[in-house]
Amino acid sequence: MNTAATEFFEKAKKWNEEFLLLRDIIRENPSLVEDYKWMHPCYTYEGKNVVLIHGFKDYCALLFHKGALLKDSEHILIQQTDNVQSARQIRFTHIEEILALKTTIQEYIKEAIEIEKSGKKIELKKVSDYPLPEEFQQALEQDQELHTAFYALTPGRQKGYLFYFNQAKQSKTRQNRIEKYYQQIVDGKGIDD
């Protein structure tokens, strides 16, 4: 047992009963090791993340890190947003749902472990898959320091900025976002750093 994960379960007020049941179901599989990552109990196979327990206001969930590769024969996996490329959730709003799906959850966990054993990977979007907003293209062309700094960022940081800039519907909003994050880009930081 992981002490940080145990503390998470002890302190959880909302979803406590559901969390404990999910933990018991996961721990029935001896191949998984309980860890604590991103402030949540995370279960790994040979150091690779398989499934995580987390809760939100309206539901608690199991998050399968490579859920996009699961067969999902029961059609219960949810892609949180269009931008989530790999992970998928099974959401629960009360303990009876978990009890009813216990066998299915166990099967999905076994399949997720098999995916890790096989070494399968998810083909993630590349930086080039994200459009370069016109306003940002102009800023890069006009400012060598910004250009150099942006292309020196890790691909993940570049994608984060491009995604954020592209979310703006209006040119003025994109311009404001670029100006707001100018110094952060020049400093070599990601949008969430």
- pLDDT per residue, tens digit, the chain (193 aa), is 789 999 999 999 999 999 999 999 999 999 999 999 999 999 999 999 999 999 999 999 999 999 999 999 999 999 987 778 899 999 999 999 999 999 999 999 999 999 999 999 988 778 788 889 999 999 999 999 999 999 999 988 998 999 899 999 999 999 999 999 999 999 999 998 8
Answer yes or no: are the C-beta atoms of 132 and 122 closer than 8 Å.
no
Domain limits, the chain: 3-118, 127-186
Domain 3-118: give its CATH code. 3.90.1150.200
**Residue 92 CB burial class (10 angstroms; 0-12, 13-18, ≥19):** buried
Nearest-angstrom CA–CA distance, 185 and 26:
41
Residue 160, SS3 per DSSP: helix
| pTM, two decimal places | 0.74
